[in-house]
């Protein structure tokens, strides 16, 4: 997959996996990584699906309706890519923290729905429920931040609540942050995600 890898400070274990929104690319979320953890390694990936010239991480049938077969295929593709990148670049596979926005948050959530411990933690900005009606893996203690907009027309509040419920039921430690806004990624939300990261991820050694 097209990507950027930036090696961080030697003393840090964390690698931030950046996943852009529809129509974005691997450059979009680089400033976020600088805000959340300027010491971390960064693996920023471009989605492999082209929707009328817009990059995405998986196909959709219409707005908010996902192509499940492609979602499963692309989730595995990303999962395998993270494994391969960890070998190539020598980062710790067990310390990968996803930071995703919109379509990127949805594929990060899909990793959590389909694999056991695919990530050390996840910051999901404006995510939706990736799949329904499947058994989900154990997520005991997994730190997840969800940033949501009360007036988000693309990720309506019911989706956010359902995602929160699914993850919490599997044992994830979810921090849900609402802003009075729509689908855009706000500075306030990123600041809260940064605080969450400092208290739940970089300051805590899971081993
Ligand atoms: C999706 O298709 O993943 C969601 O609708 C969010 C987006 O528009 O990218």
pLDDT confidence of residue 76: 98
User: Among 3, 67, 70, 183, which one carries the catalytic annotation?
Assistant: 183
pLDDT confidence of residue 52: 96
Distance CA 18, CA 33 (A): 8
Asked whether residue 187 is assigned to any structural domain, the reply reads yes
Asked whether residue 76 is assigned to any structural domain, the reply reads yes
Q: How many domains does the chain have?
A: 1
> Could you tell me the maximum CA-CA distance found in the chain, to the nearest angstrom?
44
123: pLDDT strictly greater than 60: yes
Question: Whole-model pTM?
Answer: 0.96
Asked whether residue 38 is assigned to any structural domain, the reply reads yes
Average pLDDT of the residues of the chain: 96
Which residue's CA lies nearest to atom 3 of ligand 1? Answer: 103
- Ligand 1 touching residue 21 (CB < 6 A): yes
| 11 alpha carbon – ligand 1 mean position (Å) | 36
Residue-range definition of the domain harbouring residue 145: 3-200
| 62 alpha carbon – ligand 1 mean position (Å) | 9
Asked whether residue 205 is assigned to any structural domain, the reply reads no
- 23 by DSSP, 3-state: which? coil
- Ligand 1 touching residue 49 (CB < 6 A): no
| 189 alpha carbon – ligand 1 mean position (Å) | 19
Instruction: Kindly give, in sequence order, each residue whose CB lies less than 8 Å from that of residue 68, ignoring residues fewer than 6 positions away.
Output: 131
Asked whether residue 206 is assigned to any structural domain, the reply reads no
What is the CATH number for 162? 3.40.50.1820
pLDDT digits (tens, 9 = 90+) for 147-206: 999 999 999 999 999 999 999 999 999 999 999 999 999 999 999 999 999 999 987 665
Share of the chain above pLDDT 90, in %: 95
Asked whether residue 142 is assigned to any structural domain, the reply reads yes
Average pLDDT over residues 128-148: 97
- Ligand 1 touching residue 60 (CB < 6 A): yes
- Ligand 1 touching residue 103 (CB < 6 A): yes
- Ligand 1 touching residue 110 (CB < 6 A): no
Kindly write down the DSSP assignment for every residue of 119-155, as one continuous string. -SEEEEES------SSPPPP-TT-EEEEEEETT-SSS
Average pLDDT over residues 131-135: 96
Asked whether residue 207 is assigned to any structural domain, the reply reads no
pLDDT digits (tens, 9 = 90+) for 21-37: 999 999 999 999 999 99
pLDDT confidence of residue 203: 77
Tell me how many helices (H) and strands (E) the chain has: 5, 11
User: Among 37, 110, 114, 152, which one carries the catalytic annotation?
Assistant: 152
Whether 102 is a known active-site residue: answer yes
């Amino acid at each position: 997959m097209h990507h950027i890898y930036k090696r961080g400070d030697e003393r840090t274990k964390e690698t931030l996996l950046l996943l852009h929104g529809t129509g974005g690319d691997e450059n979009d979320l680089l400033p976020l990584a600088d805000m959340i953890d300027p010491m971390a390694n960064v693996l920023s990936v471009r989605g492999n699906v082209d929707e009328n010239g817009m990059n995405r991480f998986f196909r959709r049938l219409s707005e908010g309706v996902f192509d499940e077969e492609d979602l499963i295929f692309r989730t595995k593709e990303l999962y395998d890519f993270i494994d391969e990148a960890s070998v190539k670049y020598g980062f710790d596979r067990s310390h990968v923290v996803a930071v995703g926005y919109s379509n990127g948050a949805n594929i990060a959530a899909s990793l959590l729905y389909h694999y056991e411990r695919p990530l050390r933690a996840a910051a999901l900005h404006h995510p939706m429920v990736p799949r329904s009606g499947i058994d989900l893996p154990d997520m005991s203690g997994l730190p997840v931040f969800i940033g949501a907009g009360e007036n988000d027309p693309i990720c309506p509040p019911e989706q956010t609540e359902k995602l929160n419920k699914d993850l919490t039921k599997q044992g994830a430690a979810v921090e849900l942050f609402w802003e009075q806004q729509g689908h855009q990624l706000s500075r306030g939300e990123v600041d809260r995600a940064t605080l969450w990261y400092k208290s739940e991820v970089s300051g805590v050694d899971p081993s």
